[in-house]
Amino acid sequence: MLNTLSVLTDYLPIVLYVLIFGILSYFVSIPIAKRNKKKLFILPGVLLAITAILAIFAFATNDWGALGYFILGALAFGGFIASLIASLILYFKDSNNSQKKD
């Protein structure tokens, strides 16, 4: 049987990281959304590129440095997911407000 406390202690730091990064990304993306909605997806794109670069580095390394690259890549991927969700929220939130004004 799966221990609930064990699952909570295993996944809580990951959930908190994604939540904190999503909130920060949301507030960073608000000024960008006011200027140009298409530029909202720059931050998720940069984080996805960083994730890809770190994954390439991890597969190119033959020693324990690969573990570090995978850990950093996982953090960058979590940031990508959080910033993508924040950007999508802002993108559709602004499009709904502009449709109501017309």
Which spans in the chain are helix H? 4-35, 42-60, 65-101
**Assigned token pair, 23:** 């909130």
Average pLDDT for 26-34: 88
Pick the closest to residue 29 from 94, 77, 100, 78 (CA basis). Answer: 94
45 has a pLDDT exceeding 90: yes
Q: Which of 7-21, 41-55, 72-86 has the lowest mean pLDDT?
A: 7-21
Question: Angle formed by the axes of helices 65-101 and 42-60, to 10°?
Answer: 160
Q: What's the one-letter identity of residue 15?
A: V
Whole-angstrom Cα distance, residue 79 to residue 74? Answer: 9
6-10, 25-29, 74-78: segment of lowest average pLDDT? 6-10
Domain ranges in the chain?
A: 41-93
